[in-house]
Amino acid sequence: MSTGNVSAAARTVATRPLASADLPRVLAIEAVSFPAPWSELLFREDISRPDRIWRVAEAQAGAAGTSVGDVEGDPGVGSGPEIVGFGGMMIVGDEAHLMDIAVAPELRHQGIARRLLWDLAADAHRRGAQRMTLEVRPSNTEALALYASCGFDVAGRRPNYYAETGEDALVLWSRPIAPQLRAMEAAREGADLILAIETSCDETAASVLRGGRDELSAVIASQIDFHARFGGVVPEIASRKHTEAVVAVAQEALDRAGLTFADLDALAVTQGPGLVGALVVGLAYAKGLALGTGLPLIGVNHLEGHIYASRLLDPDIEPPLIALLISGGHTAIIHVPAWGHYELLGRTLDDAAGEAFDKVAKLLGLGYPGGPVISRLAAEGDPDAIPFPRAMMKSGDFDVSLSGLKTAVIQYVERERAAGRELHVPNIAASFQAAVVDVQVAKTVRAAEEHGVGAVVLAGGVAANPALRDGLGAALEARGKRLSVPPFDLCTDNATMIAAAAHDHLVAGRLLGLSADAVPNMRLGH
């Protein structure tokens, strides 16, 4: 059985065909999972039928009850493998009807049900099934989330389907099984070819990546010139420009990689967070491509992509780590106990750091984007010239606030102008930048210390800022920790980072259906 690398538990879980000796444990899990559990007799009859496929998932000793980063294991678990879940399908022609899937309550949300589902799908496919289908209660949100994350779509509703309660059933269908299984297999071997598309903000980007690490091509069409005269991203313009560019950008990425759609294993797309009108363009295009080519589709959280960027040219970087995600749209400190697992420790309560750079630059008439020009001017100024506030420096949490700093800069500039004094722009830039950097460094270092991690990754456009890189790097080094910063073109928005994250989703069987929506406020973590 091949292994996934997303969840510690999933890594130690394997599935095998269900045997009648497994029934006592299976019945116990069934009983705590469903309001109307099947009887032993029903199970016995069903598993003996030739058109049925049943599997159990087993956790190796010590794995059950083990959450990420926890090596204690569950004291209740003996030495042998223990059954932690099971599932069954019925083969009807070229359809596989999923009848039942259940995981012991204390082990849910660790990828075990998904593993069962795809291993059953592989069995079903060997028996001729092309698609999977099932009925589920609309109230069963956990099950709906699982199937949505395996690329199922709701196809319809059967009224009054459940006799006991009169509840309706939702009818779900999977996408074609074969390409999905093939892509997962390629991903587990590190040979998958993914075309990723990113349109969450003001760059239309597409990249082709092999095995989650090896960039075969990366194309970015920047819209910066179209937004510059407005001093920020104009959502309407962003959507329109994405629409104009996305087809050619994706084709160019394929061309540069020397590939055609037929060579690919999967498509990936940023599903959120971002500007809804911008996200929708990339998602609609990717769904159209998925439909036309039959390729599996993977949805990626943009922020997760930024974190994965660090791994591309720093392959030794391994969780547990702290990520400082700092861009024009986001400023957050995130604990990453394992790849694919995130704990948001703190974030900005108002402006993002890049936004603050952009607003201060606009105030000083320096153009857009503001970060690069402010950091260039700051290099010639005195960071101690003006004592701008360090908001929330001592708040004891990991949140930050930047709007007060922005206001302080505005008031300072107005005061100086009113007094008829000439502005010393390099000093303002350096002092503003130092106020931003001091708070970010202090909070990020404390997060690393409190969580006992050895490494911090910087992500997002503001990671290009030399004062931040140097300040954070030195503070971490002094504590025996290391900083990983991606090269500049991987810090700013790009599709390579989306493909890198998508590779791990594919290994874990996390796919998107064709009715998936853009999620402008998508949160990190599943």
Binding residues vs ligand KG4 (CB under 6 A): 201, 327-329, 354, 357-358, 369-372, 375, 460-462, 464-465, 492-493
Query: Distance of CA 280 to CAs 273, 284, 374, Å?
Result: 11, 6, 33
Q: 273, 303 in Cβ contact below 8 A?
A: yes
Give CA angle at 224 (223, 229), nearest 5°.
120
* Pairwise CA distance, residues 423 & 414, whole Å: 10
Question: With CB cut-offs between 5 and 8 Å by kind, which of Zn ion, ligand KG4, none does residue 371 bind?
Answer: ligand KG4
Min separation Cβ 224 and ligand KG4, Å: 10
Min separation Cβ 443 and Zn ion, Å: 20
SS (H, E, C) 373-385: HHHHHHCCCCCCC
Question: With CB cut-offs between 5 and 8 Å by kind, which of ligand KG4, Zn ion, none does residue 328 bind?
Answer: ligand KG4
Min separation Cβ 199 and ligand KG4, Å: 12
- Of 183 and 458, which has the nearer Cβ to ligand KG4? 458
Min separation Cβ 469 and ligand KG4, Å: 9
Region class of 110: left (phi > 0), else alpha (psi between -120 and 50), else beta: alpha
- Of 125 and 241, which has the nearer Cβ to ligand KG4? 241
- Of 124 and 352, which has the nearer Cβ to ligand KG4? 352
- Of 14 and 309, which has the nearer Cβ to ligand KG4? 309
Residue 351 makes CB contacts below 8 A (sequence gap 6+) with 331, 359, 402, 403, 406
Min separation Cβ 194 and ligand KG4, Å: 21
Question: In the stretch 455-494, what mask flags binding to Zn ion with x, by CB under 5 A?
Answer: --------------------------------------x-
- Of 15 and 375, which has the nearer Cβ to ligand KG4? 375
* Pairwise CA distance, residues 271 & 502, whole Å: 11
Residue 305 makes CB contacts below 8 A (sequence gap 6+) with 198, 270, 497, 498, 500, 501
Nearest to 5 by CA among 308, 252, 344: 308
* Pairwise CA distance, residues 62 & 291, whole Å: 42
Question: With CB cut-offs between 5 and 8 Å by kind, which of Zn ion, ligand KG4, none does residue 462 bind?
Answer: ligand KG4
Buried b (16+ CB within 10 A) or exposed e, 242-258: bbebbeebbebbbeebe
Question: In the stretch 316-355, what mask flags binding to Zn ion with x, by CB under 5 A?
Answer: -----------x----------------------------
Tokens coding 314: 């720093």
Min separation Cβ 379 and ligand KG4, Å: 10
- Of 85 and 274, which has the nearer Cβ to ligand KG4? 274
Question: With CB cut-offs between 5 and 8 Å by kind, which of Zn ion, ligand KG4, none does residue 375 bind?
Answer: ligand KG4
- Of 9 and 502, which has the nearer Cβ to ligand KG4? 502
Min separation Cβ 449 and Zn ion, Å: 27
Burial class (CB in 10 A: 0-12, 13-18, 19+), 395: middle
* Pairwise CA distance, residues 253 & 260, whole Å: 10
Q: Which residues bind Zn ion (CB under 5 A)?
A: 327, 493
